[in-house]
């Protein structure tokens, strides 16, 4: 236990990792080889992406690369902080367990596993025996070092598949919710028509002018055919009761030729149990979406050849076959380029955010 760091070490998980790794050793070997190829490929991709993105950021077109700093780049509100901490915990657990399983497969002894808290950020770790790891063949070490990021990549892609496919998402929540039968209102623009029609967050829009609205796509398609100042007869499910309201549309902020209702919506999945909240599927969807994006981001970031990251261990192991006098100078050059690219992306992203706020 140290200031801002609380770690709990145990061997209780060692047997679990050992059984999991030894039971399907051939399968995990294949996974390890895929992880190795991904680790090398992702390192190259991460460097190229940061280089290209830095050029785009200078023109105001790149993707922002911003570190998570509670209180600075992230709100400290419990509604934001608590889900984020849960996401970080899950990402780290998948990451470290992958390292642990590959250690068992490659016959590298595990000293201990455990949980830790760095300030308020939860995490996990797998600590291999140093001598056992150092004496392992290079190919084994590369598989172990690459396993964590590969696990994050696989989890991220699977979750992305779920959130991008409403049919799959609906099937997952089907034990608790029926198929989509409308759109649920997430938020209402206070200066627009829905406010004056007393539509509130949690209400479900089932029909517009008698036309059935089954999901977000139906809603957007119908609204794309409306005109400003058109009056809509909207059938709502409000606190368990049906009601009809008339809404006079205003011009859409981004397209003045179409009507605007002022609602943010999501698919409405009728609860199978009245105790279940209609907005719960949206919260689950949002959580899975953030978990997917965070997993993919960590998979890319952790592949960078920067000290303390897995990418750096992969780099050093790849360079170990070269004459020893070249390893340190070459690795330091590659590290320096990676750090400069990362810092450049973060700096340009923060400057871009500041200029947007100033405007």
Q: Which domains does the chain have, with CATH numbers?
A: 5-167+286-358 (no CATH), 180-268 (2.30.42.10)
- How many residues make up the chain in this entry? 359
CA quadruple 219, 221, 227, 232: dihedral, nearest 10: -30
Give me the phi and psi of 101, to 5 degrees please: -65, -45
Q: Give residue 2's pLDDT.
A: 46
For the chain, the straight-line distance linking the first and the last C-alpha, in angstroms and rounded, comes to: 46
Report the alpha-carbon distance of residue 177 to residue 215 in Å, rounded.
Answer: 14
Q: Give residue 358's pLDDT.
A: 36
Q: Give residue 268's pLDDT.
A: 94
Give me the phi and psi of 93, to 5 degrees please: -60, -50
Report the alpha-carbon distance of residue 57 to residue 201 in Å, rounded.
Answer: 36
CB 158 within 8 A of CB 299: no
Nearest-Å Rg of the Cα atoms of the chain is: 25
All residues at 6 or more sequence positions from 139 whose CB lies less than 8 Å from its CB, including other chains: 36
pLDDT tens over the chain, length 359 residues = 444 556 677 666 777 777 777 788 889 999 999 999 999 999 999 999 999 999 998 888 888 888 776 666 666 677 677 788 888 888 988 998 899 999 989 999 888 777 776 665 666 778 888 899 999 999 999 999 999 999 999 999 999 999 999 999 999 999 999 999 999 998 877 666 655 567 888 889 999 999 999 999 999 999 999 998 888 999 999 888 899 988 888 888 888 888 888 778 999 999 999 889 889 999 999 999 999 999 999 999 999 999 989 999 999 999 988 888 899 999 999 999 999 999 999 998 888 754 443 33
Report the alpha-carbon distance of residue 234 to residue 211 in Å, rounded.
Answer: 9
Q: Give residue 271's pLDDT.
A: 93
Report the alpha-carbon distance of residue 67 to residue 73 in Å, rounded.
Answer: 7
Q: Give residue 70's pLDDT.
A: 66
Q: Give residue 315's pLDDT.
A: 95
CB 186 within 8 A of CB 282: yes
Place of tokens 């609602």: 263
DSSP, res 271: B
What does the block give as tokens for 125?
Answer: 């770790």
Q: Give residue 264's pLDDT.
A: 85
How many H-runs (helices) and E-runs (strands) does the chain carry?
11, 11
Report the alpha-carbon distance of residue 96 to residue 194 in Å, rounded.
Answer: 48
CB 5 within 8 A of CB 117: yes
Beta bridge partners of 245: 234
Q: Is 273 exposed, middle or buried (0-12, 13-18, 19+ CB in 10 A)?
A: exposed
CB 161 within 8 A of CB 230: no
What does the block give as tokens for 328?
Answer: 């340190």
Give me the phi and psi of 71, to 5 degrees please: 90, -15
Closest by CA to 145, choosing from 106, 89, 117, is 106
What does the block give as tokens for 83?
Answer: 């889900």
């Amino acid at each position: 236990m140290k200031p801002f760091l609380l770690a709990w070490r145990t061997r209780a998980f060692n047997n679990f990792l050992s059984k999991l790794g030894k039971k399907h050793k051939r399968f995990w070997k294949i996974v390890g080889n895929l992880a190795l190829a991904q680790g090398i490929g992702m390192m190259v991709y991460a460097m190229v992406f940061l280089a290209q993105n830095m050029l785009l950021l200078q023109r105001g077109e790149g993707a922002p690369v911003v570190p998570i700093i509670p209180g600075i780049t992230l709100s400290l509100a419990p509604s934001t902080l608590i889900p984020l901490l849960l996401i970080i915990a899950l990402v780290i657990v998948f990451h470290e367990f992958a390292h642990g399983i590959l250690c068992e497969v490659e016959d590298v002894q595990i000293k201990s596993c455990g949980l830790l808290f760095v300030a308020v950020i939860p995490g996990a770790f797998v600590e291999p025996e140093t001598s056992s790891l150092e004496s392992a063949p290079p190919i084994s070490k590369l598989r172990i070092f690459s396993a964590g990021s590969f696990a994050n990549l696989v989890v991220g892609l699977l979750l992305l598949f779920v959130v991008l496919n409403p049919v799959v998402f609906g099937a997952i929540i089907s034990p608790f919710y029926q198929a989509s039968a409308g759109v649920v209102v997430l938020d209402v623009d206070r200066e627009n028509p829905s406010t004056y029609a007393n539509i509130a967050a949690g209400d479900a829009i089932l029909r517009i002018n008698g036309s059935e609205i089954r999901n977000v796509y139906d809603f957007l398609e119908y609204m794309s055919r409306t005109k400003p100042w058109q009056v809509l007869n909207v059938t709502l499910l409000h606190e368990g009761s049906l009601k009809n309201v008339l809404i006079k549309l205003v011009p859409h902020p981004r397209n003045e030729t179409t009507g605007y209702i002022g609602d943010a919506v999501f698919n409405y999945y009728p609860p199978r149990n009245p105790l279940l909240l209609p907005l719960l599927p949206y919260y689950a969807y949002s959580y899975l979406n953030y978990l997917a994006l965070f997993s993919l981001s960590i998979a890319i970031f952790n592949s960078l050849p920067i000290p303390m990251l897995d990418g750096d261990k992969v780099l050093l192991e790849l360079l170990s076959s070269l004459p020893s006098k070249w390893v340190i100078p070459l690795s330091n050059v590659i590290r320096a380029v990676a750090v400069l690219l990362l810092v450049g992306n973060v700096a340009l992203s923060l400057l871009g955010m500041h200029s947007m706020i100033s405007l």
